[in-house]
Amino acid sequence: AMQDTLLVPRAGNAREELPCGKQEMREIYAAEVTGREVVLRLLTRLHGATEDLKAAGMPANEASRVNQYNMFLTKNFERIWVFKTYRTPKALRAMMRVTIQILPFFYGPYWLHIIVGDSGRISTARIIFVCFFSSLISTLMIVMVNLADQTENPFRHGNRDTIRVKEEMLLARKAIINAEADAQKPWYEHEVFDWESDDCSTTESDRDNCIV
């Protein structure tokens, strides 16, 4: 439920204000609300299970500690929910896009001044420099806006600069499985890592002489 909630696409695009985007906006909001309700329902059931264990004989201090952990889970989920549902104001994003389009008209006369120079003669080298530099500035501004749009949803799937939700969830599941499998082993048992030498023995004397 948590993974599916985080992987819901981000809403807040300008096209959603048009009739063609209303359905998309409703579907995204409905998916987000459904995911939130499911996660909170599971957290509530965890609290109810703790109360049942308390009524069955669990010590009050242990039940209080479990409820405290449940409270931490709820608080952290609400924090993640804020990160997930935050959207940059549409007016601000629209103003940024319009500014990128009209800004070259304002610094265009300065590029013309550089081409002509104080002598009043047009130089080929200056023309090349002005074309390159003005194109570079416009390209950088467009790239920055696109990067900001891509990273606005920190849980966006398939992006290099966002959180890899599926991989993190898989690691969490593997950690739980490994902890359950290792629960019956003694804590002092020696672990041999792959990068350790193959001729290292498991005896204590040989381990002391082994170079890692």
Token pair 């467009």 in the structure block, residue: 142
Domain ranges of the chain: 1-87
Q: Is the pLDDT of residue 210 over 90?
A: no
Give the mean model confidence (pLDDT) for residues 59-87: 90
Give pLDDT tens digits for 95-142: 888 888 888 888 888 888 888 877 778 888 888 988 898 889 888 988
What average pLDDT does the chain have?
A: 82
Backbone φ and ψ for 199, nearest 5 degrees, come out as: -85, 5
Whether this prediction's pTM lies above 0.85 is answered by no
Is the CB of residue 94 less than 8 Å from the CB of residue 14?
A: yes
Give pLDDT tens digits for 60-71: 899 999 999 999
Is the CB of residue 79 less than 8 Å from the CB of residue 102?
A: no
pLDDT band with cut points at 50, 70 and 90 for residue 200: low
Token pair in block for residue 185: 């082993």
pLDDT band with cut points at 50, 70 and 90 for residue 197: low
